[in-house]
Amino acid sequence: MKNKVPNILLIYTGGTIGMVQDYESGHLKAFDFEKLVENIPELYQLDCEIHSVSFDRPIDSSDMNLGHWKFLASLIERHYDRFDGFVILHGSDTMSYSASALSFMLENLAKPVVFTGSQLPIGDLRTDAKENLITSIQVASLRKGGHPVVQEVCLYFENTLYRGNRTTKMSAEQFQAFDSPNFPVLGTSGVHLRIMEEYLWKPPGRKKLQVHTDLDNRVGLLKLFPGIHPGWVRSLLESPELKALVLESYGAGNAPTDTWFLTLLKDAISRGVQLVNVTQCPGGSVLMGKYKTSASLDEMGLIDGKDITSEAALTKLMYLLGSGVSSKSFKTIFETSLRGEMT
């Protein structure tokens, strides 16, 4: 390895960035990583040392699961001392979920982990992949006073650097595919690469990286809509596989006041199911008790999701359940920002 230049580990999981068109079926499918790197000779001009590793079978991120997250977290743990930063190439479809999950799994992270991908394959003439990849590597290489500038899990896409667990995929078509509606962007790339240092996550003290790979996926998501069927809500809330649920409520955390609905929620809580109130609005925060339609939720003890995204709420639940947090302290811990995921 060259001395002094940052060492970056590039981890290829799959996604459009490395896909090619299958001539027989016409579908986009993942191809091998060596070809991906061949398509970007610019990588060799960057002022850093890049090593790469790839999933044995690169995937479309719709196939992402807990096993892949554990693999990624363990890979970073194994190589943590040897590398200055990590760039994860990932499909955009579930990138916000993965970035959120990894943010919880990597406690005391003090190095950059940058998720990126693209809307068009790297071989496409109009591809957005090159800029995304090259700038992500530059972000992961940034150092100041002998320390990495970015010390958290973030997501870089279309000239913008975001805190990963604040993002959500907004567009299946635009190059600007992500947004972070409740937290300022961490950086922008124009003529200059600008990092908004005041918004970066500061890891607490100099604690050793702790990697948590026990996640519990007995969690659910219920998006409310007018006319929702009681039987369906019942079957979800009474499922024996349900330990925690994100309730995507309306506006500032409001929900129907029908007795059947409130009784089902109350019964679930008394059986020990953790219920988190998250707004289904892309931006803004839950304010329980502001309207009468959220007062009963507050009274029965729903967890206040504040301005967390559903992606971060679900993965935070998986992480807290997997860590064996007691039911007594669950609400308090969930309502605390652990990695800058809520305000």
What is the rounded CA–CA span in Å between residue 64 and residue 93?
10
Indicate the residue among 16 and 274 with the shorter CB distance to ligand ASP.
16
Task: Tell me how far, at minimum, the Cβ of 119 lies from ligand ASP, in Å.
Answer: 6
* Contact region with ligand ASP (CB under 6 A), list: 55-63, 106-114, 138-146, 294-302: 55-63
**Residue selected from 91, 112, 187, 253 as contacting ligand ASP according to rule CB under 6 A:** 91
How far is the C-alpha of 90 from the C-alpha of 79, rounded, in Å? 19
Please list the alpha-helical segments (H only) found in the chain: 33-38, 66-79, 95-105, 129-141, 230-237, 259-270, 292-299, 310-322, 327-334
Per CB under 6 A, 15 contacts ligand ASP: yes
Distances in Å between the alpha carbon of 138 and those of 84, 145, 172, 193, 268?
A: 12, 17, 26, 9, 48
Applying the rule CB under 6 A, the residues between 60 and 89 that interact with ligand ASP are 60-62
Q: Is 263 a catalytic residue?
A: no
Among 11, 16, 163, 219, binds ligand ASP (CB under 6 A): 16
> Whose Cβ is closer to ligand ASP: residue 172's or residue 191's?
172
In the complex with ligand ASP, the residue whose CB is nearer, 1 or 172, is: 172
In the block, tokens 């953790």 appear at 274
Instruction: Find, among 79, 55, 54, 52, the residue nearest to 67 by Cα.
Output: 55
Rounded CA separation 37/22 (Å)? 20
CB of 16 to ligand ASP, least distance (A): 3
Q: Please report, as residue ranges, which positions from 163 to 202 form the binding site for ligand ASP (by CB under 6 A).
A: none
Three-state SS for 211?
A: strand
Min separation Cβ 87 and ligand ASP, Å: 15
Number of amino acids touching ligand ASP (CB under 6 A) = 11
Candidates 9-17, 125-133, 181-189, 240-248; binding stretch for ligand ASP (CB under 6 A): 9-17
Q: How far is the CB of 91 from ligand ASP (least distance, A)?
A: 2
Which of the stretches 58-66, 209-217, 251-259, 328-336 binds ligand ASP when contact is defined by CB under 6 A? 58-66
For residues 128-148, one letter each, b for 16 or more C-beta atoms within 10 angstroms of the residue's C-beta and e for the rest, the string is: bbebbbbbbbbbbbbeeeeeb
Least gap, CB of 146 to ligand ASP (angstroms):
35
Answer for the pair 256, 293: CB distance below 8 angstroms, yes or no: yes
The answer to whether the beta carbons of residues 18 and 122 sit under 8 Å apart is yes
Region near ligand ASP per CB under 6 A, out of 11-19, 68-76, 104-112, 322-330: 11-19
Residue 237 · residue 219 · CB < 8 Å? no
- Cβ(87)–Cβ(140) under 8 Å? yes
Among residue numbers 119 through 148, which ones bind ligand ASP (CB under 6 A)?
A: 119
Rounded to a whole number of angstroms, the minimum distance from the CB of residue 226 to ligand ASP is 31
Under the criterion CB under 6 A, does residue 117 sit at the interface with ligand ASP?
yes
In the complex, least distance from residue 176 CB atom to ligand ASP, rounded to whole angstroms? 13
* Upper half-sphere CA count for residue 166 (Cβ side, 13 Å): 29
The residue from 16, 94, 127, 167 that is catalytic is 16
Distance CA 23, CA 46 (A): 34
C-beta closer to ligand ASP: residue 132 or 294: 132
Closest CA to 106 of 84, 85, 77, 86: 77
294 binds ligand ASP, rule: CB under 6 A: no
Cβ proximity to ligand ASP: between 119 and 136 the closer is 119
Q: Which residues bind ligand ASP (CB under 6 A)?
A: 14-16, 60-62, 91-93, 117, 119
Q: Which residues are catalytic?
A: 16
